[in-house]
Amino acid sequence: MTEVYHNIFKLRLSNQLRCLYTIIRDEKTSRADFVFYSDRIIRLLVEEGLNQLPVKSKTILTPTGSTYHGFEFEGKICGVSIIRAGESMEQGLRACCRSVRLGKILIQRDEETALPKLFYVKLPTDISKRYVLLLDPLLATGGSACMAIDVLKQKGVSEDRIIFLNVLASPEGIEVFRSKYPKIKVITGMVDDGLNEHKYVIPGVGDFGDRYYCI
């Protein structure tokens, strides 16, 4: 069962999840294994994100000629990845949602100030009418995610239609979302100890994008 705290949803720490996180945290893990096991965690996050979407009643006819009173999702969705690390989560979303629309936001952190800068935005034209799964594997200071959310809000997306998925989060980043965006749901796999002097999540996994994409 997923743990819930003020719109912060944390995956249940099962034995499987403990093992998966140990593998991706290990500096000795090969890139191939890092990608494989990260993808397994991402799939779990996407599934939980989809669990948070609203549904409405739908009646269908089964192949036996029986009537079944079921449900369907209330609205359309799209994924928005924060480039580049967020793109690692797109395949997990596609695996669960066929032909899902995807948007991209490029935000880079200034290494001297640790502040985010916006460089590129490409979103579906009807994004204001969709539920948005925002994708970024690490929630550190929350600066990049906050900038991405501000972009989405400028495009007409309401906070209660945004679900933020991340593999790891820091307590500092979680607190930013609780105080600044109380209507946004955050789905995370694990909340780490905190941030170091360089504003990296610890114990963390290192640079997620570098480990996922670089050989």
Longest dimension (CA), the chain: 66
**Cβ(159)–Cβ(148) under 8 Å?**
no
The contacts found for 207-212 with CB under 8 angstroms, 24 or more apart, are: 208/38, 208/85, 208/88, 208/137, 208/138, 208/167, 209/84, 209/85, 209/88, 209/137, 211/31, 211/34, 212/31, 212/34, 212/35, 212/38, 212/85, 212/88, 212/137
Question: Considering only CA atoms, which of 6, 4, 40 is closest in space to residue 22?
Answer: 40
User: Which are the contacts of 212, defined by CB distance < 8 A and separation ≥ 6?
Assistant: 31, 34, 35, 38, 85, 88, 137
List, in sequence order, every residue forming a beta bridge with 133; answer none if it has no partner: 79, 163
Active site residues: 109, 113, 207, 210
User: Which are the contacts of 26, defined by CB distance < 8 A and separation ≥ 6?
Assistant: none
